[in-house]
Amino acid sequence: MNMDEEFESIYQKIYDASYSRLEEVKANNRKFLTIFTLVLVIINLILYIIPDIRPISIIFVCISVCILIFFYIHGRQIYTHAYKKCVIEGLVKAYNENLSFDPTIGISQSEYLMADFDRTFNEYTSEDRIYGRLNTGDSFQLAEVTTCQVTR
């Protein structure tokens, strides 16, 4: 079995084991958004029916759309977090039991600077840290790092 087939096999096992949890998160997000959308539609219809409020009802519609967008984005973030905890953490453990995954933290900016990478940035973020000891006993860590030069 080559490396790609081995990865696909491990990934599929982990994904299959996590499938019900991930589907539950999706279903809960859909259910919440559906109910919330219906409530907002009803509220906006009632506000539109009242003649004195009708001229400003467009403002309520705009606010409702903004609220829905916010909750849609939040639902995607919840799913992403569940996916990382279920699938990515499982892949890391399948690769090496001595490694851990934490999607909420990354490599500190001082550690990044000690590695002598790019220093021409003024904004730094890092997340999805994998850390621990390799089979050789050496300490190991990696993370997603984003640096950028922002001018204001």
Sequence-distant contacts of 115-123: CB under 8 A, at least 24 apart: 118/147, 120/149, 121/147, 121/148, 121/149, 122/148, 122/149, 122/150, 123/147, 123/148, 123/149, 123/150
**Average pLDDT estimate for 94-111:** 92
pLDDT digits (tens, 9 = 90+) for 68-80: 999 999 999 999 9
- Please determine, for residue 52, whether its predicted confidence score (pLDDT) is greater than 90: no
Tell me: pLDDT of 1 over 60.
Answer: no
Residues 114-124 have pLDDT tens digits of 988 888 898 99
